[in-house]
């Protein structure tokens, strides 16, 4: 029989996949050793026999024995094993579709692990190329979003074959790394031809997960359950009849591709395939909904959702300085603060002149997604920067923005379509900012039409009707609201608006901002971009949700504001006043108590910032440091004081000339292969408190990156950490490279396995035995 | 799972430190936060043992692990993890400028993973009706860290519980444990059995280790790094 194109076959039929391969191998060959794919070369007839049994059972798709044949697991043999497997399968079942099976690498990807997106991509791309003779690509048993995305993009960009993608979930509807069914559907659907679940659970346990998935994806659903949960001897309890019964229930849910995973056999597949072939496809249960997500959290845009505006250097001196200096910790802190203040989505912008925007924006996205599970809005006018950031982002992002100019439409919409991102449509074009609501509507509709041509649905377009400044064009505020009302009445788009620009140049801006925000929500604004740390913004939204019955029974409002003292939420002034003058801050630091209020009080009372540093903070840190060294204070006390001093420094920095307290630059990194960086983080906090500028490169840092940073910042001291005996060689390698490339830089090292002697033997200048050693060393080197 | 305050302080090298009320609250908060963020999972497999794990071609190397398994004709391979939610809340704490919080979360997680392993091993011993030796992990004594990859592979740990090993032998998620556990035969005298199940700190050569415990048992928290001595 001549095979149809697989996509056409899938559009007309329910497709039967084959069942477990490992189970069959064990049945036939017993213990199969480290790499079962080696049998593709050693015993091809055995592999062919299993394929023939599944073909005889009625499977439409035969999965080649390539699950673990990627380069991460099979090394240099990978290519040969994959080619052999596809050939065996084609010969054994010439009239069936042959699937190239792509399983996980076995390594854990960033941010949790040490494999970068690019490494994963290269591994999968090589497998896709080696398997070019297959008809279908089956990406399966994934549990990590980075790895899944790398595999999907590698398949899409190196092949035109249909791509089926499944993840493996636990009972709580999440994968091991926390990916939910909803996040998976949002991220994978735009990149795959079919999405679904396999492995880990039996059919009964998978039913509720498939139910959730079914409403979330517009793509055909695929399910490959295990034959139940294995007992302690490794046998699977669900027999062929029971399995097929559940298969029927999956087909009722609209599942279009069905097969088996661990523990299933040709007997299971025979009954299941017969059932699949006797049934007509049930209609899809997909419910189109506006939503974005990170790897672990989905935000539905079915009410007002707050986009936090703080990670943007425009008009924000401290953020600008942090981006130029590579101070990622500052941006991370903004991310955590906005998350805790109740933002739903975070805008991320690195637009500065004279900055490598694609590189900085991408790094910013990587750093921020480590500390928040909120979805991100990638804010740039540079399409190259947007694409690089979209590749790095582990979820469904919003691109901010496209506008009505041809150049913008042609550059941005294909990116939104390819990565499945939502997109902000800015209602300006080559003629500039339109003065009437009608003109804005016209541009919005142009964007909507052009997006539709790329397959971007209306609910993924967020129209920005522009906030102008009432100080300059007073009547424009009402035009903006008119435009919002009209566009919402005509289209299923969402609307977005940067709110605070409205009051530019006016006194007491918050009063006007808050009123405009309220009016805009009543006009139909879904996504205000604002500062969630300002209470009146969140209060206006809470009130709106009460008045529009979104906050059912006023429950959320009551929870949040029952005990709220509105007299202090206006500005976060301290209610605790210092009893008596100068030594209080010092006492607060020694006790490890909050210091921001007292620091502000001192500054408002006219105390020069440097007096606060030299007269209070440094003496306090010295006192607690001495006590720690003498064994009179313990690590928790030292850290509490360090945090407390850092809080005060954060306030002081705004009042001090840039670089005023800078005693020298220190580059810190946890070496390549090592992801345990708690000691390095503590060192960073302590060093900053003593006035050093710390460039923290993070963990798992390649030697070249350390050398590059030392050169870039002309650092005279570099600190390296390693936890394991097995990563110390990478530390030695980093030191050797620094010696060659930056001979003037001194090196200090620390970590659980190091000793004074060990540190000397790998060529370090200094050994850090505890949390204060680095300060002593810095004071010698950077004197 | 449990994590007593004094255990957490010991992980911080602060034995003998009497925590004040504020620190006690913070420790308790850290334990609750880790408990909420963790998704503990474990996997185990039993093998016949004759110096190698029968049917696998794998033999543990090093005299220390072999001494530990001396006389055992069966062993369990065991792995457990708290998942990577714990790492995320630690990073958040650092990002917030709360390094004490981050360190307390880390120490609490180290205690909780050990406690979880204890619970799971007790469960195995009960359900399989066996007496087990204490856990012996890669990196203890002269049992090479490089064997971590073999254990992970034999347990199919990435697929079963989402536990991975890096090229450098580091477990990921970080708050995870793998171990070999011997099954003590019936013929063991109580004294011999005690030698196999006794407290690891007392058997360890690192007499000046800051984490060394006076009595009772102690497992290296989370990662099985070699002792610093």
Q: Among A114, A635, A753, whose Cβ lies nearest the Cβ of B14? A: A635
Question: Are A142 and A107 spatial neighbours (Cβ–Cβ below 8 Å)?
Answer: no
The tens digit of pLDDT for each residue in A328-366 reads: 989 999 999 999 999 999 999 999 988 999 999 999 999
Question: Tokens 């006797």 belong to which residue?
Answer: A278
CATH number of A303-534: 3.20.20.20
Cα–Cα dist A158/A387, whole Å:
18
CATH number of A583-653: 1.10.1240.10
The tens digit of pLDDT for each residue in A725-779 reads: 888 999 999 999 999 999 999 999 999 888 999 999 999 999 998 878 999 999 9
In this predicted structure, the answer to whether residue A576 has a pLDDT above a threshold of 80 is: no
Average pLDDT rounded to a whole number, residues A232-255: 92
Tokens of B26: 């913070």
- The reported pLDDT for the residue numbered A176 is 94
Q: Among B100, B162, B172, whose Cβ lies nearest the Cβ of A639? A: B100
- For an interface test with B, give the residue of A296, A631, A726 to mutate (most B CBs within 10 A): A726
- Chain A positions in Cβ-Cβ contact with residue B169 (cut-off 8 Å): 724, 726
Residue in chain B nearest A177 by alpha carbon: B84
- Chain B positions in Cβ-Cβ contact with residue A373 (cut-off 8 Å): 88
The tens digit of pLDDT for each residue in A689-708 reads: 888 989 999 889 999 999 99
Cα–Cα dist A745/A717, whole Å:
5
- Chain A positions in Cβ-Cβ contact with residue B156 (cut-off 8 Å): none
φ, ψ of residue A231 to 5 degrees: the values are -85, -175
In a domain, B4, yes or no: no
Cα–Cα dist A398/A301, whole Å:
12
Average pLDDT rounded to a whole number, residues A489-510: 95
Q: Name every residue whose Cβ is closer than 8 Å to that of residue A66 and which is 6 or more positions away in sequence.
A: A37, A81, A82, A85, A86, A100, A101, A102, A127, A131
- Chain A positions in Cβ-Cβ contact with residue B167 (cut-off 8 Å): 107, 114, 673
- Chain A positions in Cβ-Cβ contact with residue B56 (cut-off 8 Å): 31
Cα–Cα dist A684/B203, whole Å:
36
- The reported pLDDT for the residue numbered B220 is 37
Question: Tokens 């009505």 belong to which residue?
Answer: A404
In this predicted structure, the answer to whether residue A579 has a pLDDT above a threshold of 50 is: no
- Chain A positions in Cβ-Cβ contact with residue B127 (cut-off 8 Å): 232
- The reported pLDDT for the residue numbered B227 is 38
In this predicted structure, the answer to whether residue A311 has a pLDDT above a threshold of 80 is: yes
- The reported pLDDT for the residue numbered A78 is 97
In a domain, B7, yes or no: no
- The reported pLDDT for the residue numbered A173 is 92
User: Which of A186, A182, A190, A185 has its CA nearest to residue A153?
Assistant: A190
The tens digit of pLDDT for each residue in A4-44 reads: 899 999 999 999 999 999 888 888 877 666 688 999 999 99
A87-106 residues touching B, CB cutoff 8 A: 104, 106
In this predicted structure, the answer to whether residue A431 has a pLDDT above a threshold of 90 is: yes
In this predicted structure, the answer to whether residue A456 has a pLDDT above a threshold of 90 is: yes
In a domain, B103, yes or no: no
- Chain A positions in Cβ-Cβ contact with residue B106 (cut-off 8 Å): 678
- The reported pLDDT for the residue numbered A677 is 86
Q: Are strands A194-198 and A163-167 parallel, antiparallel or unpaired?
A: parallel
Mean pLDDT of chain B: 85
Average pLDDT rounded to a whole number, residues A435-442: 96
- The reported pLDDT for the residue numbered A338 is 96
Per mean pLDDT, which range of A617-626, A655-664, B8-17, B189-198 is the poorest? B189-198
- The reported pLDDT for the residue numbered A569 is 43
- For an interface test with B, give the residue of A25, A38, A112 to mutate (most B CBs within 10 A): A112
How many domains, in total, are found in chain B?
1
In this predicted structure, the answer to whether residue A575 has a pLDDT above a threshold of 50 is: no
Domains A583-653 and A665-781 share a fold: no
φ, ψ of residue A538 to 5 degrees: the values are -70, -30
Burial of A253 (0-12, 13-18, 19+ CB in 10 A): middle
Q: Is A413 left (phi over 0), alpha (psi -120 to 50) or beta?
A: alpha
DSSP string across A64-113: -S-TT-SHHHHGGGHHHHHHHHHHHHHHH-TTSEEEEEE---SSPBTTTS
A592 touching B, CB under 8 A?
yes
CATH number of A665-781: 3.40.50.280
- The reported pLDDT for the residue numbered B228 is 36
**Dihedral sign for Cα atoms in the order A68, B86, B134, A235:** negative
Question: Are A528 and A495 spatial neighbours (Cβ–Cβ below 8 Å)?
Answer: no
* Cα diameter, chain A: 93
Residue in chain A nearest B172 by alpha carbon: A113
In a domain, B219, yes or no: no
Q: What percent of chain B has pLDDT over 90?
A: 58
- The reported pLDDT for the residue numbered A666 is 95
Question: What range defines the domain where residue B63 resides?
Answer: 40-83+112-203
Average pLDDT rounded to a whole number, residues B102-126: 95
CATH number of A6-278: 3.20.20.330
In this predicted structure, the answer to whether residue B38 has a pLDDT above a threshold of 70 is: yes
Q: Among A108, A114, A371, whose Cβ lies nearest the Cβ of B91? A: A371
Cα–Cα dist B122/A751, whole Å:
33
How many CA atoms lie less than 13 Å away from B108 in the CB half-sphere?
26
E strand residue ranges, chain B: 41-48, 74-81, 131-132, 164-165, 171-172, 176-184
Average pLDDT rounded to a whole number, residues B192-214: 62
What is the band of B124 on the pLDDT scale with cuts at 50, 70, 90? very high
What DSSP character marks residue A632?
S
User: Which of B159, B160, B149 has its CA nearest to residue B224?
Assistant: B149
CATH of the domain at B183: 3.40.109.40
Kindly report the length of chain A: 783
A56 touching B, CB under 8 A?
no
- The reported pLDDT for the residue numbered A566 is 66
Q: Among A170, A634, A639, whose Cβ lies nearest the Cβ of B17? A: A634
Higher pLDDT, B141 or B36: B36
> Per DSSP, what are the bridge partners of residue A376?
A346
- The reported pLDDT for the residue numbered A229 is 86
What DSSP character marks residue A692?
P
A141 touching B, CB under 8 A?
yes
Sketch the domain layout of chain A as residue ranges.
Answer: 6-278, 303-534, 583-653, 665-781
- Chain B positions in Cβ-Cβ contact with residue A31 (cut-off 8 Å): 55-56
What is the band of A567 on the pLDDT scale with cuts at 50, 70, 90? low
pTM of the model: 0.89
Q: Among B146, B158, B225, whose Cβ lies nearest the Cβ of A104? A: B158
What is the band of A3 on the pLDDT scale with cuts at 50, 70, 90? confident
Shortest Cα–Cα distance, B191 to chain A (Å): 31
A182 touching B, CB under 8 A?
no
Average pLDDT rounded to a whole number, residues A490-507: 95
Select, from the ranges A129-143, A595-609, B88-102, B145-159, the one with the highest average predicted confidence (pLDDT): A129-143
- The reported pLDDT for the residue numbered A571 is 42
- Chain A positions in Cβ-Cβ contact with residue B43 (cut-off 8 Å): none
- For an interface test with B, give the residue of A636, A681, A688, A753 to mutate (most B CBs within 10 A): A636
Higher pLDDT, B225 or B130: B130
In a domain, B164, yes or no: yes
In this predicted structure, the answer to whether residue B215 has a pLDDT above a threshold of 50 is: no
Q: How many CB atoms lie within 10 A of CB A549?
A: 9
- The reported pLDDT for the residue numbered A32 is 60
Q: Among A333, A336, A636, whose Cβ lies nearest the Cβ of B23? A: A636
A537 touching B, CB under 8 A?
no
Question: Tokens 């607690």 belong to which residue?
Answer: A624
**Dihedral sign for Cα atoms in the order A707, A709, A712, A713:** negative
What is the band of A232 on the pLDDT scale with cuts at 50, 70, 90? low
Average pLDDT rounded to a whole number, residues A565-573: 50
Mean pLDDT of chain A: 92
Q: Name every residue whose Cβ is closer than 8 Å to that of residue A346 and which is 6 or more positions away in sequence.
A: A307, A308, A310, A311, A335, A338, A339, A368, A372, A374, A375, A376, A377
Select, from the ranges A19-33, A522-536, A558-572, the one with the highest average predicted confidence (pLDDT): A522-536
The tens digit of pLDDT for each residue in B51-101 reads: 999 888 899 999 989 988 988 999 999 999 999 899 999 999 999 989 999
In this predicted structure, the answer to whether residue B176 has a pLDDT above a threshold of 90 is: yes
- The reported pLDDT for the residue numbered B210 is 62
- The reported pLDDT for the residue numbered A650 is 85
Tokens of B191: 């004294």
Q: What percent of chain A has pLDDT over 90?
A: 80
Q: Model ipTM?
A: 0.85
Shortest Cα–Cα distance, B183 to chain A (Å): 16
Q: How many CB atoms lie within 10 A of CB B95?
A: 26
Q: What percent of chain A has pLDDT over 70?
A: 96
- The reported pLDDT for the residue numbered A676 is 84
């Amino acid at each position: 029989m001549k095979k149809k194109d697989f996509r056409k076959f899938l559009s007309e039929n329910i497709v039967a996949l084959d069942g477990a391969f490992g189970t069959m191998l064990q049945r036939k060959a017993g213990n199969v050793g480290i790499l079962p794919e080696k049998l593709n070369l050693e015993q091809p007839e055995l592999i062919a026999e299993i394929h023939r049994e599944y073909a005889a059972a009625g499977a439409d798709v035969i999965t080649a024995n390539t699950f673990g044949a990627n380069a991460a697991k099979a090394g240099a043999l990978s290519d040969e094993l994959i080619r052999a497997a596809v050939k065996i399968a084609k010969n054994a079942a010439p009239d069936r579709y042959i699937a190239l099976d792509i399983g996980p690498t076995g390594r854990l990807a960033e941010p949790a692990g040490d494999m970068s997106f690019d490494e994963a991509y290269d591994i999968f791309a090589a497998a896709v190329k080696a398997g070019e003779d297959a008809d279908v690509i089956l990406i399966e048993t994934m549990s990590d979003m980075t790895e899944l995305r790398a595999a999907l993009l590698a398949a899409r960009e190196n092949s035109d074959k249909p791509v089926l993608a499944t993840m493996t979930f636990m009972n709580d509807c999440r994968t091991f790394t926390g990916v939910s069914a909803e996040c998976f559907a949002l991220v994978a659907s735009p990149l795959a031809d079919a999405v679904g679940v396999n492995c880990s659970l039996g059919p009964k346990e998978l039913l509720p997960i498939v139910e959730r998935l079914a409403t979330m994806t517009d793509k055909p659903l695929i399910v490959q359950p295990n034959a139940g949960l294995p007992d302690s001897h490794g046998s699977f309890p669900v027999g062929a009849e029971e399995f097929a019964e559940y298969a029927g229930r999956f087909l009722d849910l609209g599942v279009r591709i069905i097969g088996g995973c661990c523990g299933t056999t040709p007997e299971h597949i025979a009954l299941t395939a017969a059932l699949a072939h006797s049934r007509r496809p049930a209609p899809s249960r997909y419910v189109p909904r506006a939503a974005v997500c990170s790897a672990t959290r989905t935000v539905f845009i079915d009410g007002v959702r707050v986009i936090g505006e703080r990670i943007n250097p425009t008009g924000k001196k401290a953020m600008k300085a942090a981006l130029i200096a590579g101070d990622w910790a500052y941006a991370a802190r903004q991310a955590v603060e906005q998350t805790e203040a109740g933002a739903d989505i975070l805008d991320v912008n690195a637009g500065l002149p004279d900055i490598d925007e694609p590189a900085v924006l991408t790094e910013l996205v990587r750093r921020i997604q480590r500390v928040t599970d909120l979805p991100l809005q990638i804010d740039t006018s540079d399409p190259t920067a947007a694409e690089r950031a979209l590749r790095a982002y582990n979820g469904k992002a919003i691109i901010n923005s496209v506008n009505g100019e041809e150049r913008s439409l042609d550059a941005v919409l294909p990116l939104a379509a390819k990565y499945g991102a939502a997109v902000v449509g800015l209602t300006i074009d080559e003629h500039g900012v339109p003065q009437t609501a009608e003109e804005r509507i016209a541009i919005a509709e142009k964007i909507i039409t052009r997006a539709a041509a790329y397959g971007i649905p209306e609910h993924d377009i967020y129209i920005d009707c522009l906030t102008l400044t009432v100080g300059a064009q007073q009547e424009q505020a009402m035009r903006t609201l008119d435009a919002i009302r009209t566009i919402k009445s005509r289209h299923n788009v969402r609307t977005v608006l940067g709110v605070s620009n409205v009051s530019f140049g006016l006194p007491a801006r918050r009063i006007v901002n808050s009123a405009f925000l309220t009016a805009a929500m009543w006009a139909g604004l879904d996504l205000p971009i604002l500062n969630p740390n300002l209470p009146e913004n969140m209060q206006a939204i809470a009130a709106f949700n009460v008045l529009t019955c979104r906050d059912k029974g006023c429950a959320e409002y009551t929870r949040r504001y029952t005990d709220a003292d509105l007299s202090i939420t206006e500005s976060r002034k301290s209610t605790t006043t210092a009893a008596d003058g100068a030594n209080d801050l010092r006492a607060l630091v020694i006790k490890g108590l909050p210091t921001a209020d007292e620091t502000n009080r001192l500054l408002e009372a006219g105390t020069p910032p440097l007096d606060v540093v030299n007269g209070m903070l440094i003496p306090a840190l010295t006192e607690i440091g001495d006590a720690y060294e003498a064994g009179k204070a313990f690590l928790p006390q030292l850290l509490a004081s360090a945090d407390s001093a850092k809080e005060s420094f954060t306030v002081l920095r705004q009042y001090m000339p840039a670089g005023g307290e800078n005693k020298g630059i220190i580059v810190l990194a946890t070496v390549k292969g090592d992801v345990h960086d708690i000691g390095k983080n503590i060192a960073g906090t302590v060093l900053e408190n003593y006035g050093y500028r710390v460039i923290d490169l993070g963990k798992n840092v390649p030697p070249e990156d350390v050398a590059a940073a030392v050169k870039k910042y002309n650092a005279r001291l570099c600190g390296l950490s390693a936890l394991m005996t097995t990563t110390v060689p990478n530390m030695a390698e980093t030191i050797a490279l620094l010696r060659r490339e930056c001979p003037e830089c001194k090196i200090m090292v620390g970590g659980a396995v190091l000793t004074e002697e060990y540190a000397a033997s790998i060529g370090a200048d200094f050994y850090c035995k505890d949390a204060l050693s680095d300060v002593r060393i810095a004071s010698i080197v950077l004197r | 799972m449990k994590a007593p305050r004094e255990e957490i302080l010991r992980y911080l090298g602060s034995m003998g430190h009497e925590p004040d009320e504020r620190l006690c609250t913070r420790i308790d908060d850290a334990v609750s936060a880790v408990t909420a963020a963790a998704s503990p999972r474990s996997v185990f497999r039993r093998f016949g043992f004759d110096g190698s794990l029968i049917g696998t071609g794998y033999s543990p190397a090093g005299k220390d692990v072999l001494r530990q398994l001396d006389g055992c004709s069966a062993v369990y391979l065991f792995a457990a993890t708290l998942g990577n939610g714990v790492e995320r809340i630690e990073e958040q704490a650092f990002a917030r400028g709360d390094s004490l919080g981050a360190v307390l979360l880390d120490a609490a997680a180290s205690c909780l993973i050990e406690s979880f392993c204890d619970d799971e091993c007790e469960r195995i011993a009960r359900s399989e009706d066996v007496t087990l030796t204490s856990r012996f992990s890669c990196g203890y004594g002269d049992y090479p860290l490089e064997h971590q990859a073999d254990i992970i592979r034999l347990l199919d740990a990435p697929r079963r519980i989402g536990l991975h090993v890096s090229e450098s032998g580091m477990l990921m998620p970080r708050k995870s444990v793998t171990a070999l556990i011997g099954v003590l035969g019936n013929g063991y005298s109580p004294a011999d059995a005690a030698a196999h199940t006794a407290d690891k700190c007392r058997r360890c050569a690192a007499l000046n280790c800051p984490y060394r415990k006076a009595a009772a048992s102690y497992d290296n928290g989370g990662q099985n790094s070699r002792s610093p001595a």
